[in-house]
Amino acid sequence: MDYTHLGRTGLRVSRLCLGTMNFGPQTTEPDSHAILDQALDAGINFTDTANVYGWKTGEGVTEQIVGRWFAQGGGRREKTVLATKLYGGMGDWPNQTFLSALSIRQQCDASLKRLQTDYIDLYQMHHIDRDAPWEELWEAFDILKQQGKILYVGSSNFPAWGIVQGNERARQRHSLGLVSEQSYYNLMKRTVELEVVPACEQYGVGLIAWSPLNRGLLGGILRKQKEGRSADENTQRNLEQNRPAIEAYEAFCDELGHAPADVGLAWLLAQKAVTAPIVGPRTAEQLTSAIRALDVTLGDTELKRLDEIFPGPGGPAPEAYAW
């Protein structure tokens, strides 16, 4: 397993991050625990979850599953860089959603209890809250740090201006600020290259890519359909809208001799701003497949060909649209 620093920190994390969103709704608890063990055995020390995962309001189903895995001992917690998130609704009362200082305090304590741990390595805001001033946010997070409940703070789905604003306000407080941003990023969805990626590079913020295979479209969907596997309505609609590019992509993967999913992950690993793509396996076999991507090396010629198939926005802003 390869490791890298999370942004400008001294924290070392694996180049693949294990996503747990399927644990509970699609993957049973025993199978989830087996996948967590398999990931640790493979050297994946970076695990991401969220208080809303499990999709039963207020229950934190997935965090509970991870917590019971930690409770088995064997160094599981000590070996894991644990990331979780808050923002989404955890109840019907006004402050059980979003990012007030009260919500941050209560949701952190609730996640710690479910996860059966006394600290969270990376505590992430799942979305920007335009009504919560940064002074309030940083005071709340700094208190959690002082209490030893969290170590680092990250963002998810933030715009570039949010990353800049947050880190500048942290600088004024002599605080570390945001160390990571979790964004929707893959070969087909490259909007973040305009502003978010440059902001991450300038501020030393590690970029964690979610949906690295664009909800399966980059995972060999045409091959799977030939094998008789079906896709949901939204995925099928997106496939039809992008069929020529996906056909060219899978043909190019055949030329390379690699599975489409491996190439899609390898492309993200080749982007210098990316710390790790999040892989969210439903099965042990899917995790084994994702790990193969670490052995795929894409040179300049291959990267250029992928850019031709899935053109990005044309580089960073403003050059991408002004010149």
Ramachandran area for residue 27 (φ above 0: left; ψ -120 to 50: alpha; else beta): beta
Nearest to 284 by CA among 83, 40, 39: 39
SS3 5: strand
Amino acid at 301: T
Query: Is the link from the previous residue into 318 a cis peptide, with omega within 30 of 0?
Result: yes
Q: Exactly one of 53, 87, 123, 249 is catalytic; which is it?
A: 53
Q: How far apart are CA 202 and CA 207, in angstroms?
A: 12
Nearest to 218 by CA among 277, 254, 259, 274: 259
17: Cβ–Cβ under 8 A, 6 or more apart, which residues?
44, 46, 47, 48, 83, 208, 275, 276, 277, 278, 279
- Contact present, 50 and 88 (Cβ < 8 Å): yes
Spell out the long-range contacts of 220-226 with Cβ–Cβ below 8 A and sequence spacing 24 or more.
Answer: 220/250, 220/253, 220/259, 220/260, 220/261, 221/246, 222/246, 222/247, 222/250, 223/250, 223/260
Q: How far apart are CA 90 and CA 88, in angstroms?
A: 6
As given in the structure block, the two tokens for residue 266 are 């390898």
The verdict on whether 53 is a catalytic residue reads yes
Q: Which residues are catalytic?
A: 53
